[in-house]
Amino acid sequence: EIVPTSLNVFSDEEVMLRETVQRFANDVVAPKVREMDENENMDPSIIKGLFENGLMGIETSPDQGGAGMSFTSAIIAIEELAKVDPSVSVLCDVHNTLVNTVIRKYGTEQQKDKWLPQLSESKLGSFCLSETSSGSDAFALKTRAKKDGNDWIINGSKMWITNSYEAEIFLIFANVDPSKGYKGITCFIATKDMGIKIAKKEQKLGIRASSTCTLDFDDLKIPEENIIGGEGKGYKIAIEILNEGRIGIAAQMLGLAQGAFDKSVPYTYQRKQFGAPVGTFQGMAFQFSQAAIEIEAARLLTYNAARLKEEGKDFTKEAAMAKYWASVVAQNVSGKAIEWAGGVGFTRETGIEKFWRDSKIGAIYEGTSNIQLQTIAKFIQKQYS
């Protein structure tokens, strides 16, 4: 069974993509997961493999080197990768749903022709919004850009930037006119060789193979032609892309929950206590049922939000709901999965405990759970007040 849902709405192309990603995840990623987690390092062969399998320009048009597939395809890839390794999943997620999408949606034809082929074929991207003093309050960012002839000079620093240890292409949000508040925020595209410095690589609880770094920009010189979407348009670009990106994180957390469930439940039918497989005791079996319901609800929320987006309908509230709920489920189910396997679930060897460590990030990045609740609350207030 390839399509793991009762929401039977996938095209043949999407089903085939799911198969391709499952093969890649099981054959190429799975053997490296533990070592990468222990070493806090993403194996370069995995990044190369993602490019070679056409998973780094999923929605990008074939004219620009991509696969020209649906948004749901990107969501499927993120979900399937997360079943095996949430770190590889977020690498693919940030690259596709944040970096590629900004350029596809807001870039000029020349910008798309220049950047999208590189991003589809070999160069990893990062999305640089957060800073030390601006996380949830993202639009209070302090990185500044000043005009200098035909160039812009960027000074400042970014914190928590996913993929940045391996990335070559960076979207940087900087304010060109702080007197306008967040309406001065502008999106620039930069390359590593322009002089982006990695100041620190974080050591983390989970998604340890995914790099997270602080970046310093000291008089970083960027040509005028590298502004995306126009001066002052950066805040809208950032949040509109994050609205979509949150469906990607929902998919990551959905895949994670399913991955933990799939690893732990079969063991409970092998393990015998009191003369019976432990999974057959009602106290266990009912927990499996509850987890399966939670996962299915996360799946329906996630794919519903993805299809609403594809159909051009409002999806911001549904995306926030999907991300919030999938993060709750990922944490619940991966925590339970450890308990279902008993002592062995608590060891590193089975890989179940890793899903639980990895699950914590779902409630933090791309807008914390409180930010999702705040987003949903704004819609409720608008409708009922």
Could you list the active site residues? 366
| Two tokens, residue 378 | 């704004």
- Binding segment (CB under 6 A) for ligand FAD, from list 140-148, 267-275, 313-321, 363-371: 363-371
Residue 87 binds which one of ligand FAD, ligand CAA, none, with CB within 5 to 8 A depending on kind? Answer: none
How far is 56 from 251, CA to CA, in rounded Å?
A: 16
DSSP 49-82: HHHHTT-SSSSS-GGGTS----HHHHHHHHHHHH
Instruction: By CB under 6 A, tell whether 129 contacts ligand CAA.
Output: yes
- Name which of 122, 17, 120 is nearest 66 in CA terms: 120
Three-class DSSP category at 216:
strand
> Could you tell me the smallest distance in angstroms from the CB atom of residue 215 to ligand FAD?
10
Residue of 26, 39, 136, 280 that binds ligand CAA (CB under 6 A): 136
**Which runs of E-coded beta strand occur in 252-380?**
272-273, 276-277
Tokens 């220049």, residue located: 114
> Could you tell me the smallest distance in angstroms from the CB atom of residue 160 to ligand FAD?
3
| Two tokens, residue 268 | 């409970």
How far is 228 from 102, CA to CA, in rounded Å?
A: 8
Residue of 60, 73, 175, 316 that binds ligand CAA (CB under 6 A): 316
Binding mask 7-46 for ligand CAA (x = CB under 6 A): ----------------------------------------
Instruction: By CB under 6 A, tell whether 161 contacts ligand FAD.
Output: yes
Judged by CB under 6 A, the chain residues 210 through 239 that form the site for ligand CAA are 235, 239
Instruction: By CB under 6 A, tell whether 94 contacts ligand CAA.
Output: yes
Q: Rounded to 5 degrees, what are φ and ψ at 158?
A: -120, 145
Total residues at interface with ligand FAD (CB under 6 A)? 20
How far is 125 from 379, CA to CA, in rounded Å?
A: 32
- Residues lying near ligand FAD in the complex (CB under 6 A) are found at 94, 127-130, 135-136, 160-162, 204, 212, 361, 364-368, 370, 374
